[in-house]
Amino acid sequence: MTERTRRTKDEWLALFKRQEESQMSNSEFCRQENLNDKYYGKRKKEMLDPASSDELGFIKLSKKHRRQMSNGGVIALQHNHTSLHIPLHTDPHWVASLVKALS
């Protein structure tokens, strides 16, 4: 079993840049760097084209949720088994900072 390494976004971006500069295919580069080429390709697609990721997609609000929001409701952020309810009047810059910090 190989040791798993957790990389930051900047480290992934540096890997993508090195691979591009090397003019090697993903497979060749991954072989040289001892990386799983399928995972590398997945991360590359997610990070360079976030719209392609199923995990980062938006969900459509139901009529019930839209009605709650228009009546002074809350913003509900949900991921797996965790949810966070934020009052609608919360500063959008604060919400954006929170989402960025959690990503």
pLDDT of residue 56: 47
Could you report the per-residue pLDDT of 22-70, keeping only the tens digit for each? Answer: 999 999 999 999 999 999 999 988 888 765 555 545 566 666 665 555 5
Domain boundaries, the chain: 9-52, 63-102
Write down the residue that tokens 């040791």 correspond to: 3
Q: Tell me, letter by letter, the H, E, C secondary structure of 26-82.
A: HHHHHHHHCCCHHHHHHHHHHHHCHHHCCCCCCCCCCHHHHHHHHCCCEEEEEECCE
> pTM of the prediction?
0.47
Residue in the structure block whose two tokens are 């590398």 = 40
DSSP 23: T
